[in-house]
């Protein structure tokens, strides 16, 4: 039965419909409220659904994450990142022929135009790779602006393929620039994760030499990051995209939003934190700092807006971390010991239990990436690479349907109208 919610404004009863979710909480449709002369107030969107979507579902209380209905654990175990990209974009798993064609489409678009590579010349070797990646993604807008037509399904598909294909190349080039080495071109005989590792760690002119354990672990990391419904960066992509801007520019905006330590930048921040703690003997001191309201320090890699039980991505990540650490002979890494003890101590304390603060994906991805030999400033770049299909799928979902420009309102608390005073009278 259709539910309704009533509120009383100055004695007048206003009815608001309740929209039924396929899974999870229903939502009160407040769109008609403006006619009654009021807005809702929800900074940080704690109680607000910003859109409807059919892509990804999270049940934060039960630690469930579904891409197009499929549990993340099953996808991480059985699928490949490109198959997941296809699933997110198209809503269904591909047949073998569809997957082969999709892989061909991606491989074809992986190389960057020679003139475009000069975008990296503007950066120094000390530049943060995320800044190079943001700039290069925004730069792609210039290559695909002439034919810009977001109402054309063909254009939208091409934009999605270009972004998924070019992000490993851009990311690897940002890395090569940061270590002052020549770029390595993509190799169509390699799979997606292998190609990225080859472009990062291979040498120009040398045959690829990739560990299957590492490429499998990396592919899994990409799958785990592929989408996460309306998080800050995806919402940024939708918000920018709602102005009908170039999709490459909208994705660049999302990339910038991802960089922050509260979001995708947390994987880098976790490693910085573990290095700062340095030794198990100092864990208690840092846990106390995290609990102290007067200290801005937070335990990076802990907590999540939606997951209030466990982060299912962290569980998969933890088991994948062990395979990598073993292969790399890093099982005795003192940082791992610090991480494991930190998790144990934090999990036992009321402060974290009461606030439902559990390790999130970034807690273990950082340790795994470090063991793989990925430099710390590249961690958030890998998150960007993984999240690309999610961003472009959400952008596509939005622009392929009727949408409005995102234009939130505010609760104004500033000065009332007042007259300008000349400078000599102030
Ligand atoms: N360490 C210590 N205290 C914390 C932490 C933490 N990591 N996270 C939250 N709290 C406390 C917070 O101070 C607040 O306490 P109180 O109720 O006494 O005021 C309470 O827990 C609720 O926190 P909140 O800040 O209101 O929660 P939020 O939903 O606004 O923020 C978060 C979620 C992920 C930004 C936050 O937990 C955080 O900053 N965590 C560390 C950064 C991190 O690991 N981010 C990666 C998120 S997962 C990757 C992704 O999908 O982006």
What does the pLDDT read at residue 336? 85
* Strand 56-59 to 70-71 pairing: unpaired
Do 336 and 325 form a contact (C-beta atoms < 8 A)?
A: yes
Is residue 362 annotated as part of the catalytic site, yes or no? yes
Kindly list the strands in the beta sheet with 64-67, ordered across the sheet, starting from the edge strand earlier in the chain.
56-59, 64-67, 70-71
CA dihedral of residues 359, 361, 367, 368 (deg, nearest 10): 140
**Catalytic one among 219, 227, 311, 362?**
362
Report pLDDT digits (tens) over 144-188. Answer: 888 899 999 999 999 999 999 999 999 999 999 999 999 999 999
Among protein residues, the one whose CA lies closest to atom 4 of ligand 1: 298
Is residue 81 annotated as part of the catalytic site, yes or no? no
Report pLDDT digits (tens) over 67-123. Answer: 999 999 999 999 999 999 999 999 999 999 999 999 999 999 999 999 999 999 999
Distance CA 310, CA 326 (A): 25
Concatenated DSSP letters of 249-312:
HHHHHHHHHHTSTTTTTHHHHHHHHHHHH-SGGGHHHHHHHHH-TTS----TTB--SS-SS--H
Report pLDDT digits (tens) over 26-67. Answer: 999 999 999 999 999 999 999 999 999 999 999 999 999 999
Contacts of 189 (CB under 8 A, 6+ apart): 208
Res. 395: pLDDT tops 80: yes
Is residue 115 annotated as part of the catalytic site, yes or no? no
> Three-class SS of residue 151?
coil
Closest ligand 1 atom to residue 270 Cα is: 44
Report pLDDT digits (tens) over 291-303. Answer: 999 999 999 999 9
**Catalytic one among 198, 263, 311, 394?**
263
**Catalytic one among 81, 198, 304, 394?**
304
Mean pLDDT of all residues in the chain?
94
410 pLDDT band, cuts 50/70/90, is very high
pTM above 0.85, yes or no: yes
Percentage with pLDDT > 70 across the chain: 100
Res. 329: pLDDT tops 90: no
1 pLDDT band, cuts 50/70/90, is low
The mean pLDDT value for 266-273 works out to 93
Q: For 362-383, give one letter per residue: b (16+ CB within 10 A) or e.
A: bbbbbbbbbbbebebbbbbbbb
From 48, 236, 272, 303, mutation site for ligand 1 pocket: most ligand atoms within 8 A of C-beta: 303
Name all residues whose Cβ lies below 6 A of ligand 1. 228, 231, 262-264, 266, 290, 298-305, 355, 357, 360-362
């Amino acid at each position: 039965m259709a539910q309704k919610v009533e509120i009383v404004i100055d004695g007048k009863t206003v009815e608001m419909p309740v929209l039924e979710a396929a899974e999870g909480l229903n939502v009160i449709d407040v769109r008609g409220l403006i006619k009654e002369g009021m807005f809702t107030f929800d900074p940080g969107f704690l109680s607000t659904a910003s859109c409807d979507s059919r892509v990804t579902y999270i049940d934060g209380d039960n630690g469930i994450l579904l891409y197009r209905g499929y549990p993340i654990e099953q996808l991480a175990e059985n699928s490949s990142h490109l198959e997941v990209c296809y699933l997110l974009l198209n809503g269904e798993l591909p047949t073998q022929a569809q997957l082969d064609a999709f892989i061909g489409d991606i491989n074809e678009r992986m190389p960057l135009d020679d003139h475009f590579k000069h975008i990296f010349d503007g950066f120094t070797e000390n530049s943060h790779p995320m800044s190079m990646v943001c700039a290069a993604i925004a730069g792609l807008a210039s290559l695909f602006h002439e034919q810009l037509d977001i109402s054309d399904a063909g254009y939208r598909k091409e934009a999605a393929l270009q972004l998924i294909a070019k992000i490993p190349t851009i990311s690897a080039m940002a890395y090569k620039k940061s270590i002052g080495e020549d770029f390595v071109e993509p190799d169509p005989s390699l799979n997606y994760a292998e190609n990225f590792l080859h472009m990062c760690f291979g040498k120009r002119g040398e045959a690829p030499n990739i560990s299957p354990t590492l490429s499998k672990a990396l592919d899994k990391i990409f799958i785990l990051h592929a989408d996460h419904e309306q998080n800050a960066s995806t919402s940024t992509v939708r918000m920018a995209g709602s102005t009908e801007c170039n999709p490459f520019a909208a994705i660049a905006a999302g990339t910038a939003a991802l960089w922050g330590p509260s979001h995708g930048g947390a994987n880098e921040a976790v490693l910085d934190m573990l290095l700062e703690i340095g030794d198990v003997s100092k864990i208690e001191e840092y846990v106390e700092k995290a609990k102290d309201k007067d200290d801005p320090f937070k335990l990076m890699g802990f907590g999540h807006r939606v997951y209030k039980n466990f982060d299912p991505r962290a569980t998969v990540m933890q088991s994948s971390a062990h395979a990598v650490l073993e292969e790399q002979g890093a099982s005795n890494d003192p940082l791992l010991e610090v991480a494991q003890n930190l998790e144990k101590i934090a999990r036992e304390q009321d402060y974290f239990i009461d606030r439902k603060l559990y390790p999130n994906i970034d807690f273990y991805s950082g340790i795994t990436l470090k063991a793989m030999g990925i430099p710390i400033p590249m961690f958030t770049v890998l998150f960007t690479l993984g999240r690309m299909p999610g961003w472009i799928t959400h952008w596509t979902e939005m622009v392929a349907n009727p949408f409005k420009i995102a234009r939130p309102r505010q609760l104004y608390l500033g000065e009332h109208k007042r007259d300008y005073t000349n400078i000599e009278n102030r």
